């Protein structure tokens, strides 16, 4: 058994529809890799870029301007795909927010395998379409929402996302959760500054909408208020 067995096998969302032989073939191509919090997932060779599948942890996809401004353009949770099959390099860089484990593939291998396995391509298409939808609704937030609305929307999304991807299957969104983001990273997601994020968090706490037990912990006290603030 290769050390990467569980990488793909675990990923039900991707493997549904593939038979065991196909899954085994995928596994032999993939290499498991651990990335600790704060570390970049380096694309070792510009030409044979990698594709990766998140097994555990949360990673950020960012783009930056030359003068150092940063925008987080995507967040990858377990079972999400990272990278850009069938294309030239996308300019986003990938950094782990928490300790993470991923399964990486050489792009060429992956591309060939995908083209030979329509079922896999179909899954990739569905996921990419879903990601595009999410990204588009985030454009609305970035372009048209105010700081308080951005923060409220962010907290609601977090409470849903972190629940979906959590180990325990719970119904409904989480009431209390641990943010995988620092204040600065929250600012980079929302197109704000760290000071504005901090002030808005404090205001929500003072208004009794949320509680902040520690720097990374959030507890939602008044979800309807948050929904109404989200605009």
Partner DNA sequence: CGCCCGCCTTGACGGATATCAAAACGCGGC
Partner DNA sequence: GCCGCGTTTTGATATCCGTCAAGGCGGGCG
Question: Which position among 40, 45, 91, 184 is part of the footprint of its own copies (CB under 8 A)?
Answer: 91
Task: Tell me whether residue 20 or residue 206 sits nearer to DNA (CB atom).
Answer: 206
DSSP character at residue 93 = E
Q: Is 46 in the site for its own copies (CB under 8 A)?
A: no
Instruction: Cite the beta strand spans of the chain per DSSP E.
Output: 31-35, 50-56, 59-64, 70-76, 81-83, 93-96, 100-106, 176-178, 210-211, 217-220
Stretch that binds its own copies, among 18-26, 57-65, 93-101, 205-213 (CB under 8 A): 57-65
Show Cβ contacts of residue 154 under 8 Å, excluding neighbours closer than 6 positions.
Answer: 186, 189, 190
Of the CA atoms within 13 Å of residue 120, those in its CB half-sphere come to 20
Binding site for DNA (CB under 7 A): 146-148, 182-184, 191-199, 201-202, 212, 214-216
Instruction: Note whether 143 binds its own copies by CB under 8 A.
Output: yes
160 binds, among its own copies, DNA, none (CB under 5 to 8 A by kind): none
Query: Least distance from C-beta 107 to its own copies, angstroms?
Result: 12
Compute the distance between CA of residue 214 and CA of residue 217 in angstroms, rounded to an integer. 5
- 148 counts as binding its own copies under rule CB under 8 A: no
Residue placing its CB nearer to DNA in the complex, 20 or 214: 214
CB-based contacts of 103: which residues, under 8 Å, 6+ apart? Answer: 4, 7, 8, 30, 31, 32, 33, 52, 53, 55
Q: Which does 131 bind (CB under 5 to 8 A by kind): its own copies, DNA, none?
A: its own copies
Among 30, 74, 78, 180, indicate the residue that binds its own copies (CB under 8 A): 74
Site for its own copies (CB under 8 A): which residue of 76, 190, 204, 229? 190
Specify whether the CB–CB gap between 103 and 33 falls below 8 A: yes
C-alpha–C-alpha distance, residues 208 and 178, integer Å:
19
Map residues 93-122 to x or -, x wherever contact with its own copies holds by CB under 8 A: ----------------------x--x--xx
123 binds, among its own copies, DNA, none (CB under 5 to 8 A by kind): none
Nearer to its own copies, 113 or 177 (CB): 113
Residues found near its own copies in the complex (CB under 8 A): 61, 63, 65-67, 69-71, 73-74, 84-87, 90-92, 115, 118, 121-122, 124-126, 128-133, 135-140, 142-145, 190-191, 231
């Amino acid at each position: 058994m290769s050390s990467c067995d569980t990488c793909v096998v675990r990923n039900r969302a991707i493997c549904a529809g593939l038979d065991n032989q196909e899954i085994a073939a995928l596994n032999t191509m993939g290499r498991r890799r651990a990335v600790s919090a704060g570390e970049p997932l380096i694309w070792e060779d510009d030409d044979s870029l990698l594709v990766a599948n998140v097994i555990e942890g949360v990673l950020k996809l960012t783009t930056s301007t030359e003068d150092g401004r940063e925008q987080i353009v995507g967040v990858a949770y377990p079972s999400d795909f990272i990278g850009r099959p069938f294309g030239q390099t996308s300019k986003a860089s990938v950094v782990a927010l928490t300790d993470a484990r991923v399964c990486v593939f050489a792009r060429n291998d992956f591309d060939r395998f995908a083209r030979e396995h329509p079922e896999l391509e179909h899954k990739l298409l569905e996921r990419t379409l879903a990601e595009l939808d999410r990204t588009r609704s985030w454009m609305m937030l970035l372009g048209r929402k105010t700081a308080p609305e951005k923060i409220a929307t962010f907290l609601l999304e977090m409470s849903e996302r972190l629940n979906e991807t959590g180990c325990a299957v719970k119904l409904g969104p989480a009431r209390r959760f641990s943010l995988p983001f620092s204040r600065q990273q929250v600012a980079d997601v929302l197109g704000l500054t760290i000071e504005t994020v901090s002030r808005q968090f404090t205001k929500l706490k003072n208004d009794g909408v949320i509680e902040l037990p520690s720097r990374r912990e959030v507890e939602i006290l008044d979800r309807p208020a948050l929904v109404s603030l989200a605009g």
